[in-house]
Amino acid sequence: MKVEQKNSSKQNKIGQLTIKDYTFERVENVKYLVVILNEENNHQINLQEKIKNANKTYFMLQKFFRNKNIPKN
């Protein structure tokens, strides 16, 4: 397995990863199976995204929560 990095320096973290005939671009964040992965392994971004999505869902369903015609039992 051949692994090499091109254009990698301390100032410029964006580079490429080459494994055999495949070249992968380096990115800061990747969303995989509803989890945001980043190179610093910072979970703050993932937590903020989940809070934002929960707030969207709550405010979208708020009119249903207040509906008097839906039985509460």
pTM of this prediction exceeds 0.85: no
The structural domains of the chain, with segments of one domain joined by +, span: 3-65
- Residue 5 parent element (H or E): strand 3-6
pLDDT tens digits for 3-21?
445 544 444 455 777 888 8
- Tell me the residue length of the chain: 73
Confidence check: pLDDT of 56 > 90: yes
Q: What is the SS3 assignment for 12-71?
A: CCCCEEEECCEEEECCCEEEECCEEEECCCCCHHHHHHHHHHHHHHHHHHHHHHCCCCCC
Q: How far, in Å, CA of 11 to CA of 50, rounded?
A: 31
In this prediction, residue 34 has a pLDDT band, given cuts at 50, 70 and 90, of confident
